[in-house]
Structure 1
Amino acid sequence: MRHARELLDQAGTGRGGSQKKVMIEVMVKPGTQAQLSRRAGYSPGLVSDAIKELARDGVVDRSRGDKVRLASMRGVAVGIDIGFNHTSVVARPLERSVGEAATRRGEPGINVGLADLRSDLLRMVQEVVEETGQAMTDVVSAGVAVPRMIDSRTGRFTLPVLPPWEADDDPAQMLSGELRVPVAIDNDANLGVVAEQIYGSDDPVEHIVYVKASTGVGVGIMLGPNLVRGQRGMAGEIGHLIVERGGRMCLCGGRGCLDTVIGSAALIAKVEESHRGTDRENPVTLAELVAKASRDDAVCRRVLNDAGRVLGFALAQLCNLINPHRIVIGGELSSAGDIVLEPCGSELRRHALYAATCSSSDFELGLSALSPFAEAHGALVLGLRTWSSK
C-alpha cells in the first residue's frame, strides 16, 4: 500500500507546491473544492487544477459525493496536548475522519516536569498509534499543544517562561527526536480554535474564539483563515486580564488576573474557605469540584455559577473588541455544562454591546464537542500543515 510519507517527502515547489498543500488539507479533513480553497488559501481555479492532478495520480478520491477524500494509504498523524495535570494524545490514520481517531488522556502532566513526563508521554503515543492498526514507523507528523505562549518566529517559549516549565524545556525537539518526524508546537488555546474551526461543524465559522478554561484560562482567536498570535505569541492571554484590581498575586507577576479568580486552584480554594471549621471533604481537583456540583452540592454549584459569570464578563470585553460569530468553551471547566454556560451567557450578554450578541444567527456561545481532545486535534493539524513549508 502507498505510504503518505513518500508523498509528503516530495519537493513542494512551483505547481507541485500547490498540489502538496491541497493534498495536506485533504489529509486534515475531506472537503468540497470551495472548502479546500478557503483552507489552502488558493483560488478555486488553482485548487481545481491541483485536485485533478492529485486524482490522476491516485492520491485523492472524488468518487464519493462532492467531497474530495484521500485515497487509501498508510500513514498516521499524531496530536499531543500537555496540560498541567493531564496529557492527551490523539492518533488518526490520514484516510479516516476525526471521529475515528484513537485517543488517550491521563496523568501526569507538566506538573511533574518534562523529564519525568517523557516516558509516560511516549508510552501514550505508542499506545494510540498501535490502536489505529499502524506502527510507530507509520507516523508522518506530530504537533504539540502547551499552556504557555509560544513565539511563532522561534518555535520556543516566549520569555519569561512561567512555571512549571523551565527555560530550556523544548518538548517539540524532544518529541521530534523520539518520533523521527518534524514536530510543531503552539499554545493550546490557539490549537483548540484551529480544531474547532475545522472539525466543530461541517460548514466552518469564519470568526471564532475558543476558550481553554482549566488550571488557567486562555483563548484562541481565528479571524477568517488567520490565527491571531500577536507579535510574540501572546495574543489571547485572557487569563491575565485584570478582573479584580489589587487582587491576588498571579504567576505572571500581576494582581487580580482572571486566572486568580476562576483558575482551578482559585475555585478549589473558595470551596475550602466555605467549609472552614467543618469536617466536610473538599475537592482536590477541578474534576471533583464539577462532580460535586453535578450532584447538587450547593457550595460547589455556587462557585461554578460565579466562575461562569466572571468568565462571561471577560468574554463580553472580547466580543466588543473583535465581534466573533462563535465562542466555544472547552477545557475542564466546560465539563460543568450549563452550571457554567448559563451564567456565562447571561453575563456576557449583559456587558457586551447589544449588536454583537443580540441575534442567535449572528452570535453563538456553546460548549466544545471536541473536549477534552480539542487541543490535541489542533496539534495534529499543526503537525500536518508543517509539511507545507518543507
Structure 2
Amino acid sequence: MTIDRSTPGSQTSLREANRARIVDAVKRFGGLTQIELAEATGLSTATISTIVKELLGAGVVDTRPTSRSGRRALKVTLARRLGLVAGIQFGHRHLKVVLGDLGRTIVAEQHMPLPLDHRVDTGLDRAALLVVDLLDQVGASMDELLTVGLALPAPVDTSTGMISVRGVMRGWDDLHIGQTMSKRLGRTVVVDNDANLGVLAEHELGAGRGYRDTIFVRASYTTGAGIMLGGHVHRGYAGAAGEIGHIQVDPTGDICRCGNRGCLDTVVSSTALLDLVRSSHGDLTLRDLIARAIEGDPGCRRVIADAGDRIGSVVAQVVNTLNPRRVVVGGELAAAGEVLIGPLREAVLRHTAPNMIAPVEVVAGELGAEAEVMGALTLALQSAEVATDHRTISTLTDESSAGRPDRPPAP
C-alpha cells in the first residue's frame, strides 16, 4: 500500500520533519558540527549522520572538516546552491556590504568610507557596485542573489522603505529607497533602521539570545535604540520607535537635526564629544577618542564616561516604560567597553524602579561592529522569496533520489 506523503505520523512525514529540524538549526546558527546538531535538535547522532548524507546528496547542505574541543568533526552549512543574500549598512561616514549564504555565514564583505552627508544617488550606486563585485569575488551570478537587506541610520517606514523623519539624513528624504535600490540590482531590497537590525541580530546570534524582551542601544555618531518585545522587533507606527537620540535632555540646548532643541544627540553625538576635547587634544576622530580612552587618557575617558551616564539616564526611561530583561549596548562607542558601559549601566540602575524578581541586565553586544549589517542580512533572509522551507527541502531531496536509483532508502 502506498503511503501518502502528508499522512501524519508516517515514516516519510517523520523523516521530512527531521530534515526540516536539521536545516532550520543550520540556518539559525550559521553552521554546526553533527554533534552540535544533535544537541540543537534532540535527534540522535546516527539520525543526524544519515539525514546529513541525504541533504548533502540533494545539494541542500555542504560539509567540511573542522575541529571541536580538539577533535576532528564535520561542520554542516547550507549549500550555496540554495542562493545568497546581501546585507548593506549605510553609516554616517561608512558603507559596509556583506554577502552571505542562507545560514548567515559571511562569504565576502567590503567596507568603504563615505563623506559626511554623502549623496543618496552616489551612495546607492556604490552599494550596488559593491554587491556585484562581491558576487564576482565568489564566482556567483546575479541569479544566485535572492534578496538584499539595507540598514539606515534613520527611522524607516518599512512598508515604503522611506525615511519617516525629515532632516535626519540630508538629501535622503522623499525617496523610496528600497524601490530605488531594487531597480539598480533587479532584486527585492528591504530597508530598516540600523538599531532595529542591531537588536534583530543580537537577538538571533548574540547577547540577546534567549531573551524575548531586549533593548539594543546603538551608541555611535548618533544614538538610537532597537526594541525587541515578545521576540519581535517593535518598530512603532511608520518606524519611529526607539528614537532615543531625539529625547530632550536640555531644554535650552543646541538645535538638533530633527528641528527640536537639546535632544540627546546634541550632547552625545560624535560631533559634540569631539568638540569637548578639541581645545585639549586637537582634532581627533571618534576612533581616536575611543583608542585614547582605552589607553587610559583621563580626558578622553571622562568624555566617554559622561556620555555613557547621559545615555543611561535616557535608556532608563525606556526601561521603566517597557520593562525589558536585558539592555545590549552596541555601536562604535561600545568599543570603549566598560569606560562607556559601566557608567551607562549605573545610570540605568539608578534611574529605574528596582525589580527584585528580574532586575534589568546591561551588557555589551557580542557582535560588535557587525551587528547592524548582520541584522540586514537576517532581514534579507526573512524576506527571501525562495527559502529552505519543508517543501524546498523535500523537492531537492526527491530530485536527488530520482537521479540515484541505487541509493539506499532513508530510515
SS in 2 for 1:256: coil
Q: Is the 8 A contact 1:139 1:179 kept in 2?
A: no
For residues 143 and 189 of structure 1, the distance between their equivalents in structure 2, rounded to whole angstroms, comes to: 14
Q: Tell me whether 1:366 sits opposite 2:363 in the alignment.
A: yes
Shift of 1:82: 0.6
Q: 1:376 aligns with which of 362, 373, 377?
A: 373
The one of 189, 198, 202 equivalent to 1:196 is 202
Find the residue that maps to 1:167 and give its secondary structure: coil
Q: Verify the 8 A CA contact 2:158 2:190 in the aligned structure 1.
A: no
1:354 alignment partner in structure 2:
354
2:267 aligned with 1:261, yes or no? Answer: yes
1:227 has 2:236 as partner:
no
Residue 292 of structure 1 deviates from its aligned partner by 2.2
Q: How many angstroms apart in 2 are the aligned matches of 1:287 and 1:137?
A: 39
Residues 387/25 of structure 1: CA separation in 2 closer, same or farther (3 Å cut)? farther
8 Å Cα contact 1:195-1:377 kept in structure 2: yes
CA distance in 1, matches of 2:386, 2:318: 32
Q: 1:123 to 1:72 in 2, by over 3 A?
A: closer
CA distance 1:293–1:187, shift in 2 (3 Å):
same
Measured in 2, the distance between the counterparts of 1:150 and 1:203 equals 25
Q: Is the 8 A contact 1:110 1:164 kept in 2?
A: no
Change in 2 beyond 3 A, CA 1:134/1:389: closer
* Compared CA separation, residues 205 and 57, structure 1 to 2 (3 A): farther
2:329 maps to amino acid: I
CA drift at 1:200: 0.8
1:93 aligned partner: 101
Of residues 84, 88, 103, the one that matches 2:92 is 84
Letter in 1 for 2:272: A
Q: Residues 231 and 57 from structure 1, CA distance in 2 versus in 1: closer, same or farther, beyond 3 angstroms?
A: farther
Amino acid at match of 1:340: L
Question: Who is 2:336 aligned against?
Answer: 336
Q: Please state whether the residue corresponding to 2:150 is helix, strand or coil.
A: strand
Q: 2:300 maps to which residue? A: 300
Change (3 A) 1:61 1:91: closer
Structure 2: 5+ residue runs without aligned partners?
Answer: 1-18, 42-50, 65-72, 388-411
Deviation at 1:128, TM superposition (A): 3.5
> Cα deviation per residue 1:22-53 (whole Å; 9 max; x = unaligned)?
988964546989999xxxxxxxxxxxxxx9xx
Query: Amino acid of the residue matched to residue 289 of structure 1?
Result: L
Contact 2:160/2:176, CA 8 A, preserved across alignment: no
**Residues 77/323 of structure 1: CA separation in 2 closer, same or farther (3 Å cut):** same
- In structure 2, do the counterparts of structure 1 residues 202 and 112 end up closer, same or farther at CA, with 3 Å as the change threshold? closer
CA deviation profile, 1:332-366 (whole Å, cap 9, x unmatched):
1111111101111112111111117x86xx53322
Q: Give me the whole-angstrom Cα distance separating, in 2, the residues matched to 1:266 and 1:217.
A: 12
Q: Secondary structure at the match of 2:314?
A: helix
CA distance in 1, matches of 2:132, 2:375: 19
Distance 1:62 1:117 in 2: 35
- Aligned partner of 1:242: which letter? Q
Distance in 2, Cα, partners of 1:314 & 1:308: 10
In the TM superposition, what is the alpha-carbon distance from 1:389 to its structure 2 partner? 10
Moved more, 119-128 or 346-355: 119-128
Alignment of 1:186 onto 2:192: yes
Aligned-partner SS, 1:112:
coil
TM-score (norm. length: structure 2): 0.73
Distance 1:221 1:377, change over 3 A: same
Do structure 1's residue 251 and structure 2's residue 257 form an aligned pair? yes
Contact in 1 for aligned 2:245/2:263 (Cα 8 Å): yes
Deviations 1:1-21 (A, max 9, x none): xxxxxxxxxxxxxxxxxx99x
SS of residue paired to 2:238 = coil
1:20-99 to structure 2, matched below 5 A, reads 27=27, 29=29, 58=58, 70=78, 73-95=81-103, 97-98=104-105
Q: Deviation string for 1:74-100 (max 9, x for gaps)?
A: 5211001111111111111225x54x4
1:169 equivalent among 169, 175, 179 = 175
Measure the CA separation in 1 of the matches of 2:117 and 2:24. 34
Q: Which residue number corresponds to residue 281 of structure 1?
A: 282
* Counterparts of 2:386 and 2:246, CA distance in 1: 33
1:259 Cα offset (Å)? 0.5
Q: Secondary structure at the match of 1:250?
A: coil
**Separation in structure 1 between the aligned mates of residue 326 and residue 240 of structure 2, nearest angstrom:** 21
User: Which is worse superposed, 253-262 or 102-111?
Assistant: 102-111
- For the aligned residue pairs, the C-alpha RMSD in angstroms reads 3.6
Deviations 1:243-301 (A, max 9, x none): 222222111111111101111111111112x53xxxx5221x21121122223222211
Structure 1 residues 218-262: Cα deviation after superposition (integer angstroms, max 9, x where no partner) = 101111222111112111000011122222211111111110111
Radius of gyration: which is bigger? 2
Of 119, 124, 127, 1:121 maps to 127
Contact in 2 for aligned 1:210/1:330 (Cα 8 Å): yes
C-alpha change, 1:215 and 1:221, in structure 2 (3 Å) is same
Aligned sequence identity (%) = 34
Q: Distance between the aligned counterparts of 2:133 and 2:192, measured in 1?
A: 23
Q: Quick check: 173-182 or 310-319, which moved more?
A: 173-182
Which of 240, 243, 248 pairs up with 1:237? 243
SS in 2 for 1:184: strand
Partner residue in 2 for 1:3: none
Asked whether 1:150 is paired with 2:150, we answer: no
3-state DSSP of counterpart to 2:315? helix
Question: What SS class does the counterpart of residue 256 from structure 2 fall into?
Answer: coil
- Give the conservation status (yes or no) of the 8 Å contact 1:83–1:109: no
CA change 1:59–1:326 in 2 (3 A) is: farther
Which residue of the partner structure matches residue 312 of structure 1?
A: 312
